[in-house]
Structure 1
Amino acid sequence: MDAASVTFLREVLSATGWVERTREFGRSLRATRTPGGLLVVGTPEEEPWHLTAHLGDEARLSGLAQLAPTLVRWSPPPGAPPHLAVGVDRIQAARRGETLFVVTEHKAPAPLLERVDDARRTGATILSLDGGDPDLEGLAHDALAVPPQEGLFTFDAAQHLVSMAAGEAPRSRSRFLDRLARLAERVSGPRVPE
């Protein structure tokens, strides 16, 4: 999905509340303090390659080095390039200032939950994008649960919306107030000095 498709999806979903929620969640990913400290992990059966690639793109495009993700894999093959060779032992080394981002549409297996709990105890921020897993969400500091069969807001769509939101500059309240003032002026006419 390209940027234009994500923008279109945002427009279609604008009245649902999902756009603002994915923006809030995307901002949570910015809390990571150091490049490589955003650890992205899935389950042994489903690694979040696609989302990791999009976060890498957003890190480059936005200039936010802390968004540069580290894909954590359950069984990296011997001889894998360094960026594909990070194993789950990296989760045990997670510390304060780092973020463990768990991405799974299905229920998290016990070994993953144990590692997430360990990372939380050592001070890492835990975020989850999931399909409604109460055990995983109970460990997360912030969780975005994507219900099954939610129309256009699918698990894949949520990943695209979150990654794009992570790279965006936060929307300022003053810009909103400026737009609101311009809208009010159009409706009531320009202000005339007294």
Structure 2
Amino acid sequence: MEARHVLALRQILASTSWLQRVEDLARSLRHTRSPGGLMLVGTPDDEPWHLAAHLSDESRYAGLPQLAPNLVRWSPPPGAPPHLSIDLDRLAEARRGDTLFVVNPAEEAPAPLLERVDDARRTGTTILALDRGDRDLASLAHDAISLPAGDAPLTFDGLQHLVSSAAGQQEDSRRPRLRDRVSRFLDVVSGPRSPG
């Protein structure tokens, strides 16, 4: 999804609570303490490759190295490159200051995933989640967004794009927020407005 599509989606959702929820989750992602501390895991049947790529991009663009995730995989193939061979043992090493971001596009997370998330939480790891209304996963998460199936106009893929885009927006008072930058851009493109 291109930046202009994310912007269009943000405009569609402007009158809803979705954008605030996305910004809250993005803020939690940015609070990961150090590079290598963000772990991203999906289910055995659906690994969040696309979200991992977008978070890595946002990490580079925004200069926020802690946003570059370690994609944790259920069964990395033998001989996979190091960044694609991180297995579930990484979750056992999670500690306070780390963040585990769980992406579950199914209605219920598998029991082995919930057990590992619970173990990571007990070590002080911050748990974040994107899910389809999974109460068990949401109960383990410190911050979560649930998108029930068919909640138009937002899709699960669109939600992931909004979160990754928002994660790259720093909350530095010297740097204008995306909404302010877009507003200024539109002012320049459309010309001066008439008063009143």
Is this a same-fold pair by TM over 0.5?
yes
Aligned runs of 1:54-133 on 2, under 5 Å? 54-106=54-106, 107-133=108-134
Stretches of structure 2 lacking an aligned partner (at least 5 in a row): 181-194
State the TM-score, normalizing by the size of structure 2.
0.87
Deviation at 1:171, TM superposition (A): 7.2
Residue 158 (structure 1) aligns with: 159
Rounded to whole Å, the distance in 2 between the matches of 1:53 and 1:166 is 13
1:138-171 superposed Cα distances (whole Å, 9 cap, x missing partner): 1000011011111121111100000000000227
Rounded to whole Å, the distance in 1 between the matches of 2:102 and 2:18 is 19
1:77-96 superposed Cα distances (whole Å, 9 cap, x missing partner): 00000000000110010000
Residue 187 (structure 2) aligns with: none
Rounded to whole Å, the distance in 2 between the matches of 1:13 and 1:50 is 22
Stretches of structure 1 lacking an aligned partner (at least 5 in a row): 180-185, 188-194
Residue 130 to residue 171, structure 1, CA distance change in 2 (3 Å): farther
Deviation at 1:21, TM superposition (A): 1.2
Residue 142 (structure 1) aligns with: 143
Residue 29 (structure 1) aligns with: 29
Runs of 4+ deviating beyond 2 Å:
none
Rounded to whole Å, the distance in 1 between the matches of 2:52 and 2:23 is 17
In the alignment, is residue 168 of structure 1 matched against residue 151 of structure 2?
no
Residue 15 (structure 2) aligns with: 15
Residue 192 (structure 1) aligns with: none
Return 46-55 or 163-172, whichever deviates more.
163-172
Residue 49 (structure 2) aligns with: 49
Q: Secondary structure at the match of 2:158?
A: helix
Rounded to whole Å, the distance in 2 between the matches of 1:27 and 1:99 is 12
Rounded to whole Å, the distance in 2 between the matches of 1:130 and 1:154 is 11
Across the aligned residues of Structure 1 and Structure 2, the Cα RMSD in angstroms comes to 1.9
1:115-159 superposed Cα distances (whole Å, 9 cap, x missing partner): 000000001000000001000001000011011111121111100
Deviation at 1:31, TM superposition (A): 1.1
State the TM-score, normalizing by the size of structure 1.
0.88
Q: Which has the larger radius of gyration?
A: 1
Q: Tell me the percent identity.
A: 61
